[in-house]
Structure formats: structure tokens, C-alpha cells
Structure 1
Amino acid sequence: MGDKWRVEVDRSVCIGSGMCIGSAPDDFKLDAGRQSHPRLEILDSSDGIMEAAESCPVEAISIVDAESGEMLFPPE
């Protein structure tokens, strides 16, 4: 896995559970409508971000290796 990840949240799926904030508070934020957003377009890879994606109850978070374009989560 690369050192940089492109993290996206499908806001049409996000239910605003806040699980991502609990796992990676420095990397995600909730807007006024309780929709999750990554704080930056490209983030440093971290266990917290992967945990956030894996713990999202509706799998709204996707992670792509920013260098290779490989889909890291969800698994294909």
C-alpha cells in the first residue's frame, strides 16, 4: 500500500453515524447535515482511516491508493 490515499465518502449513502470521526477524528468531519467528509482530498495512509472505512455501517467510505489507483477499500 502506498503512503498517500484518496479517501471519498459517498454522501448519498452516508447516514451520519459518526463512526469515522471516532476512528480518525483528524481525517474526517461531519457537516451541518451530519454528512461525513474527508478533511483533505489526499490523506496520509493510516490504520485509523482504514478502521473508519471498515467500521462504517453502510460502507460509504472508499479508499484508493493515490499513486497506483488501486482500490484498497471496499475490497472488490
Structure 2
Amino acid sequence: MMRVTVEEARCVGCGMCVDVCPQIFSLTAQHRAQGGCVPIQDLDDVMDAALDCPVGAISVQPQ
């Protein structure tokens, strides 16, 4: 299993990651993305979201 992390200080709250992969990403009340554990079946969508992040705030690593 993998884990996705969002650097809160870099996140601009655009919501692109939520649009690409709503099963993993959500926006907090402060309009910052948050991630979590990534089941293998969602890994491709998470990687797409990380690549699409306009500020490079998303990282994916083994748990």
C-alpha cells in the first residue's frame, strides 16, 4: 500500500486532485487538500493527480 502526502504550505486549494481522484483526496475547511492511504487500484489516479498538481504539493511514497 502507498501513502499520499500533501504539503499544506504549498497547496493552493485548487481542487484538481479532488477532481481527478475524489476517492482519495478531499479539501479541508481551510481549502487545503489532504490525502491518505492509497489502495493499489487507485494508484494510477493518485499519480495523475500528483503530476497535475500546479504547485507540486503532492508526494506518493510506500507506507
What's the TM-score once normalised by structure 1's chain length? 0.75
Does structure 1 residue 16 correspond to structure 2 residue 17? no
1:7 aligns with 2:4: yes
Alignment match of 2:25 (pick from 25, 28, 45): 28
Aligned-pair Cα RMSD in Å: 1.0
Give the count of matched residue pairs: 61
- Cα shift readout 1:14-49 (whole Å, capped 9, x = no counterpart): 0001010011001000011110001x3x21132110
1:54 aligns with 2:51: yes
Find the residue that maps to 2:3 and give its secondary structure: strand
Structure having the higher strand fraction is 1
Aligned to 1:16, the other structure's residue is in SS state: coil
3-state DSSP class of the match of 1:52? helix
Task: Tell me the secondary structure at the aligned position of residue 11 of structure 2.
Answer: coil
List runs of 5+ in structure 1 lacking aligned partners: 67-76
Q: Percent identity?
A: 36
Which is bigger in relative contact order (C-alpha 8 A, separation at least 6)?
Answer: 2
Q: Find the structure with the greater CA-based Rg.
A: 1
The TM-score, its normalising length taken from structure 2, stands at 0.89
